[in-house]
Structure 1
Amino acid sequence: MITGTGPLLSLAAADALGAATEFKTPQTIAARYGQTITDYQPGSVFGFAPGEATDDTQMVVATLLGYAKQTGVDGVLSALRDWLAAGPPDVGGLTGAALRFATLDGGVRAWEGSGFRSAGNGGLMRIAAVWIAGFKGTGLARESAAVTALTHADPRCVYASVFLTAFLEALAAGQPYAEAAADALAVTGNFDARAALLDAEIFGVDTRDAHAAFKDRERQARAEVRDRVHSGLAGRMTSQSGFVLDTLEAAVKHAGADSWHACVEAAVLLGDDSDTVACVVGAIAGARGFEVPARLLPPLRLGHTWPGWQRGWECTEHFPELVRAVRQP
């Protein structure tokens, strides 16, 4: 059984590799870095140094710091707001809008403010934290739905996260790739996310319109997640945009390769939202038991300082302690 520190290091290293190529085209990447990328590179549009992971991993760690507060989803929200208040170099628009509400239903309100259209990957990028924290089975699905909806309440975002954490759990238990995906899709298809969000008080009397919109779109969202997973398993992808289903599809495609580097480099070389796709790929590769190349571990840092974390800290030194502090019984 794969747990904890290994997958956390894997997603962080993958994110840091993708930082240099974020928002670049494949042609620009090839011209600047060549046909292969095996080490951290300069060139991040947000000023991250080689070896520094971006907002993706920062929010994974912030979520884990939230669980260390031992106050559940409230603690996660508080920790994510601590991260935001420290002025990170990169913050997704919907993430920032949701967290500034400072309430459990902030993600619902931000989604409503978008006209119920926004479905970015800001929840998916950090949701591996829930599995790393040790949640399992139905509890993992419920927690994944709630933590995602803190910032991204569209049912496509919520069900993509439920799929991903179930997928990580199945892979870590040793299931083959396609079989693990099938089991995770079964979890997703049978899960009642709306009930979970009501129980978590993320939907309430003041967000009835959002609740109705979620209910109307829930069945279609499950179907879209299923279709994108099947597409990724078949080796197809739409793009590496920040749309949650594009990210999920690309990650499933790339992470089916036969080594850590082969999984991650495919995302890095395609650019666009490469850091986020690579981060999700890194989580999947870590759950599969693939080890990060040793040369990538000593330089690995997070590119931001906030309460509970210092930018100069070595991930290899501080990640094990963090995982021990949050693991569920």
Structure 2
Amino acid sequence: MTTHPHLHTLLSLTAADALGAATEFKTPEAIRAQYGAEFRDYQPGSVFGFAPGEGTDDSQMTVATLLGYARGGGLEGVLAALREWLGAGPPDVGSLTRAALSHGRLDGGARAWTQSGHQSAGNGGLMRVAAVWIAGFREGDLARESATVTALTHTDPRCVAASVFLTAFLEALAGGLPYRPAAEAALGVMDGLDSRAVLVEAGLLGLDTRAAHDAFRAGDRAAHTQVRARVRAALDGHVTSQSGFVLDTLEAAVAHARAETWQAGVERAVLGGDDSDTVACVVGAVVGARGLALPAHLLPPLRLGHSWPGWERGWRCVERFPALVEGARARA
């Protein structure tokens, strides 16, 4: 059965996330001792109580973003959908994501970033930003939307630049470019976007968040340099760690996703532990955009591990995702 590339990517990142749920926060040594040297099926052991085959906050927020697009309302609609997800009490929520969404404003991400002392640069935006490409944004619109959707919760310029790179990378890979040229093209898209101006125009940075605006402007050029260095290191196979720091996650995902098969790429992330569900989720997005075949046995049990307005925990992803993607693409 032929699957549309955007639907395939959503299924891919969700399955990868669900595989990584069992190994999150564990060391590679502990993972191998418990599960062995291979990881080919969903397993118990999630620290947040997700059952085998259930996606975590990564794929949940990706789906929530798509629900927001499907309902209309643009960026405000996405914010409302993410807040509905948060309001339903998911078991796993990043601290900056919670703080940003709790403000209930488009500039909540900037306010939460300032409250962190402009130090927090987690992967909570990167984990869900594939939704922007899945929803049908393209080229310059894709870059701009990726910046704003990320900054709803993660306004650090490293987070924004990483997300702009990732969605441009997905677009280039799906368009048929080989891996390294696709990455270089995506870096060019990142460098060509004035993210600060985009966030100001969208109301995510402004007079009421002047401290965040100034910090973003001061760090933007360095952020691009850091993303570029991490991506190029990853293209040569380097992995610093699988921590929740956005640049660590991006580097690890780009390195792992060079693999020749879906299983090989995702398995590396899952066996790496630490923030393995998020790294695996990003790997899943990349190998999905590459069109690598998702193991068929992973689809029937695949579900999301939380219920919130618009989604029920017991729903099977393979049955519900087609209409979700179609609805988001029709309204985005």
Q: TM-score, normalised by structure 1?
A: 0.99
Output the CA distance in 2 between the equivalents of 1:7 and 1:150: 23
Matched to 1:168, the amino acid is L
Correspondence 1:251 to 2:236: no
Which residues of structure 1 form unaligned runs of 5+?
Answer: none
Deviation of 1:2 (Å): 6.1
Output the CA distance in 2 between the equivalents of 1:190 and 1:223: 13
Output the CA distance in 1 between the equivalents of 2:65 and 2:225: 28
Correspondence 1:323 to 2:325: yes
CA RMSD of aligned residues (A): 1.0
| Residue matched to 2:169 | 167
Output the CA distance in 2 between the equivalents of 1:279 and 1:141: 20
Q: Is the 8 A contact 1:2 1:289 kept in 2?
A: no
Q: How many residues align?
A: 329
Deviation of 1:3 (Å): 3.0
Identity %: 67
Output the CA distance in 2 between the equivalents of 1:257 and 1:65: 31
Task: Go from structure 1 to structure 2 and tell me whether the alpha carbon gap of 1:2 and 1:188 turns closer, same or farther (over 3 Å shift).
Answer: farther
Give secondary structure in 2 for the equivalent of 1:125.
Answer: coil
Q: Is the 8 A contact 2:110 2:204 kept in 1?
A: yes
Deviation of 1:292 (Å): 1.1
Output the CA distance in 2 between the equivalents of 1:3 and 1:106: 33
| Residue matched to 1:147 | 149
Correspondence 1:227 to 2:229: yes
Output the CA distance in 2 between the equivalents of 1:9 and 1:69: 21
Output the CA distance in 2 between the equivalents of 1:84 and 1:3: 29
| Residue matched to 1:136 | 138
Correspondence 1:74 to 2:101: no
Matched to 2:319, the amino acid is E
The within-5 A match list for 1:170-209 is 170-209=172-211
2:30 to 24, 28, 50: 28
| Residue matched to 2:60 | 58
CA deviation digits over 1:99-142, x for unaligned, max 9? 00000000000000000000000000000000000000000000
Q: Is the 8 A contact 2:6 2:289 kept in 1?
A: no
CA deviation digits over 1:206-225, x for unaligned, max 9? 01111011000000000000
Deviation of 1:199 (Å): 1.0
Matched to 1:280, the amino acid is V
Where in structure 1 do 4 or more consecutive aligned residues deviate above 6 Å? none
Output the CA distance in 1 between the equivalents of 2:304 and 2:4: 23
Q: Is the 8 A contact 1:133 1:327 kept in 2?
A: yes
Deviation of 1:290 (Å): 0.8
| Residue matched to 1:308 | 310
| Residue matched to 1:3 | 5
| Residue matched to 1:90 | 92
Matched to 2:219, the amino acid is R
Output the CA distance in 1 between the equivalents of 2:196 and 2:151: 10
Q: Is the 8 A contact 2:16 2:284 kept in 1?
A: yes
Matched to 2:212, the amino acid is A
Deviation of 1:190 (Å): 1.2
Q: Is the 8 A contact 2:16 2:281 kept in 1?
A: yes
Which residues of structure 2 form unaligned runs of 5+?
Answer: none
Correspondence 1:297 to 2:303: no
Q: Is the 8 A contact 2:5 2:291 kept in 1?
A: no
1:111 to 103, 110, 113: 113
Correspondence 1:124 to 2:126: yes
